[in-house]
Amino acid sequence: MSDPLPDWLRAERLEIGRRIRTVLEHADLTQERLAERLGVDRMTLVRIELAVTSPRVVRLLHIARALGIPPARLTGRAGR
């Protein structure tokens, strides 16, 4: 089954996932550790990183807080 999302939206979801992965690597954190901080299972983060699912705004806010970064850094809107 194909993804019904427009290409630009799928690209944005992939970019958010890439940003989460980058911050995790720079913070020397694992998906498991971040999942523990968020109270979710690791597969939830995997699905977000791979753009299989779109995180709700509240989830993005929790991820940003757990990573110690402004939410805008995850969406690529920082400084715009």
pLDDT confidence tier of residue 3, bands split at 50, 70 and 90: low
Cβ atoms within 10 Å, residue 17: 21
Cβ atoms of 48 and 17 within 8 Å: the answer is yes
Q: Taking Cα atoms as reference points, which of 50, 51, 77, 53 lies closest to residue 64?
A: 77
In CATH terms, the fold of domain 7-74 is: 434 Repressor (Amino-terminal Domain) (1.10.260)
CA–centroid distance for 5 within its chain = 18
Whole-number pLDDT of residue 5: 82
Whole-number pLDDT of residue 69: 95
Whole-number pLDDT of residue 77: 74
pLDDT in tens, 19-76: 999 999 999 999 999 999 999 999 999 999 999 998 899 999 999 999 999 999 999 8
Where are the domains positioned within the chain? 7-74
Q: What is the DSSP letter of 4?
A: -
Whole-number pLDDT of residue 2: 57
